[in-house]
Copies of this chain bind each other. A is one copy, B any other.
Amino acid sequence: MKLTPAQARSIVKMLDFKDGLVVAVACDFKTKDILMVAFQNKEAVLKTLTAGVVHYWSRSRNKLWMKGEESGHIQKLKSVRVDCDGDALLLDVEQVGAACHDGYRSCFYRKVKRDKLGHVMKKKFNPKEVYR
């Protein structure tokens, strides 16, 4: 999906950015699997809605980034749901390749098992071959 800049600005006005950010949860639009959780500032939401591909705000690098800009593993936007408080978004996406920079389809590839984290997924790609 893609909105016009005017439509996207109307949506952004309805959101409640806390310290300039909303939480964004990306889900596979078909399987409903959660792929990743990240943050978006106003610009990232606007870019996501108007370009139709997901952009995030990196808190560690302090910059806007398009998911997949280096790996090619972009997220095509299918629909957007907004929570009751307007401070969290659910992005239903078509994930090209895999979401996680560790090589997994989803960033949530580990599960709590007693006092350990066990892997519950197999790698889809070798990060060393994708990120140089």
Known: A37-B23, A37-B88. A115 touches B11 (CB 8 A): yes
Q: How many copies does the complex hold?
A: 2
Are B79 and A3 touching (Cβ within 8 A)?
no
A residues contacting B by CB (< 8 A) are 1, 3, 6-7, 10-11, 14, 18, 23, 25, 27, 32-34, 36-37, 49, 59, 79-85, 88, 90, 100-102, 104, 107-112, 114-117, 120
* Dominant SS among interface residues on chain A: mixed
- Contact: A117 with B82, CB < 8 Å? yes
Tell me whether A36 and B83 are in contact in the complex, defined as CB-CB below 8 angstroms, given that A90-B108, A107-B88 are known contacts.
Answer: yes
Do residues B111 and A81 form an inter-chain contact, with CB atoms below 8 A?
yes
| Contact among B79, B88, B104, B120 with A111 in the assembled complex (CB-CB below 8 Å) | B79
Whether A82 pairs with B59 at a CB distance below 8 angstroms is: no
| B84-A7 in contact (CB<8A) | no
